[in-house]
Structure 1
Amino acid sequence: MGQDWISQFLAEEDLPDSFRVTLETVCEPLAARLARLRQARRRTVLIGLCGAQGSGKSTIAAATVRLLEARGLSAVAISLDDFYLPKSARERLAREEHPLLAVRGPPGTHDVALAGAALDQLRAPGRIALPAFDKATDDRRPRAAWRTVATPVDVVIFEGWCVGARAQGAAALAQPVNALEAAADPDGRWRAYVNGQLDGPYQALFARLQEVVLLQAPSFDAVLAWRQEQEHKLLARTGHGMPDAEIARFVAHYERLTRWILTEMPERARLVFPLAEDRTPLPTE
């Protein structure tokens, strides 16, 4: 694809010119690999793209889709975020299981059955309306706002912060990892519930993936800074956004699994793209 497309994409996504490095070192190799897999398999290729909050996974997935389309393939990127349970369902979980389950994000707060059905339909002939979640209202968008896709597609990129993650061992749950867990989950019920969900329904969902690709953050501190940067941009654009203290508490819900993913997943992910503090891809061996 030519430079005109790249410039247009950078403008559409409000990205700095430095993102060209990511296009060259992450998106291009990923698109080339997926195109080869599709040619070899002769059926839908379904991969997971895992990356912590703020790592750029949605943008990378969107750019990779464009590159695949330029190769004559049909491709779609879908986000685990769009399968959050509606607010009312999470409020019910908060009453029945643990108050922390009202906060979207950790395993147990997604409609795993709906996500699985969507991934299955993307590989079968027909059409599908893909769910969409509105983070501003913290609720699922009306069905009329869902996008419709003709199926099957050649390549599906399923992106999300814990896509492809595995559960921790029971012993790892004993001690809180931050002040949120210590104060709001002193007996470990919430983290045990989240871990159990990841070990059960989420593994059945992730079993559909042929490969997992990891955008490897340099540290959890970087993840917090990235999430704050995202929120500052949202505030500047819309006038709405969380203050830094609220962001820190929100991200604390993700800390345990984020740290675990960064420790455990690199050894088994098909591709690992290490990121610098500014999200620029680092050279790999």
Structure 2
Amino acid sequence: MKETEDCFLKVKNDYLSFLRKEKIFDKSTESKILSLKKTYIPISFWIENKYKKKGKTLFLGFSGGQGSGKTTVVKILKIILKKFFKRKIHVSSIDDFYKTLEERNKMSYAIHPLLRVRGVPGTHDINLIKNFFNHIKKKNFKKIKLPKFDKSIDDRLKKKYWFNIKEKPEVVILEGWCVGAKPQSNSLLKKPINILEKYEDKDLIWRKHANHKLKKEYKKLFAMIDYFIFMKIPYFNMVFKWRLLQERKLKKMSHTKKKIMSYNKIKRFIMFYQRITLQMLKDMPKIASVVLTLNHKHQINKILFKN
């Protein structure tokens, strides 16, 4: 208990400062403090214990429905792990490993038009992530550059803007909506679950391609992860509501003001994610070592530590 209280006192100011910077004003200060004590600090202690148990770089997968708040939670965990536990943390978003617009355009002509749209398995450069993980496992770590993706231009930035990783991380968190996703059976793929699949993927080419990628490259990547943490949303319809809020925030923070999605574009966009998101809501609570359950108010109201 004393160690938990020490942690709280050490990170409290940085935590509240971060929330102000991120313009998170939807909760009272009292509620924010409660979240720090009851949610973020316990998860951080769990991560620290897992790192100590392993004794070398810990690889974590962090997933949840779009707009669930994954990125915010991971940033808070990073603050605590660095400030209190003095850990070297690296957080990678799977979004930063999207294939370039040019690569996706080529796939859209060669395989299926829907592959131009970023998001589903098959639109990430999985080899880049695997190479990064393998690079960390080497005894003699050398600095490495990792890609940076700008959603406002729907493309990867030039190498001069990439992330510089100068020292070997002790904890690596791979955060993304489909991290840990499992493939479906062919019988489940046959029935379209929305109008996008019904009218734009009549021959099942697009969803079979994504499913095949989950069976192969993504399965190998996810096997490199030690533990998964999953944010369980109440139901899929919340993705639209939360994604809309996310885009509005992106619009405020973007310097270019380009390609921020409208109401109708978001409705269409989330259809790309629907099938895998629904399957993950069934699978991940069984797979993940930590399950964070969200209520309809976007609040974590339950944490389950399974091992």
TM-score higher than 0.5: yes
Please, which of 10, 13, 16 is the counterpart of residue 22 of structure 2? 13
**Per-residue CA distance 1:184-219 (angstroms, 9 max, x = gap):** 001111110110001110001111100111000111
Point out 4+ residue stretches in structure 1 off by more than 6 angstroms: none
Partner of 1:264: 283
Aligned counterparts of 2:58 and 2:106: Cα–Cα separation in 1? 36
Secondary structure (helix, strand or coil) at the match of 1:158 reads: strand
Superposition pairs of residues 29-44 of structure 1, within 5 angstroms: 29-44=42-57
Question: What is the Cα deviation at residue 22 of structure 1?
Answer: 4.0
Change (3 A) 1:2 1:61: closer
Partner of 1:277: 296
Please, which of 201, 217, 223 is the counterpart of residue 201 of structure 1? 217
Letter in 1 for 2:106: R
Question: Does residue 254 in structure 1 map to residue 270 in structure 2?
Answer: no
Tell me whether 159-168 or 32-41 shows the greater mean CA deviation: 32-41
Superposition pairs of residues 1-285 of structure 1, within 5 angstroms: 1-16=10-25, 18=27, 19-70=32-83, 71-124=85-138, 125-238=141-254, 240=258, 241-284=260-303
Letter in 2 for 1:86: T
Question: What is the Cα deviation at residue 146 of structure 1?
Answer: 1.1
Aligned counterparts of 2:37 and 2:174: Cα–Cα separation in 1? 21
Change (3 A) 1:236 1:82: closer
Question: What is the Cα deviation at residue 122 of structure 1?
Answer: 3.2
Which runs of no fewer than 5 residues in structure 1 stay unpaired? none
Aligned counterparts of 2:299 and 2:73: Cα–Cα separation in 1? 12
Once the two structures are aligned, what percentage of the paired residues are identical?
A: 33
Q: How many residues align?
A: 285
Letter in 2 for 1:205: L
Which runs of no fewer than 5 residues in structure 2 stay unpaired? 1-9
**Per-residue CA distance 1:209-256 (angstroms, 9 max, x = gap):** 001110001110011110011122333555552221110101100000
Question: What is the Cα deviation at residue 106 of structure 1?
Answer: 0.2
RMSD: 1.5
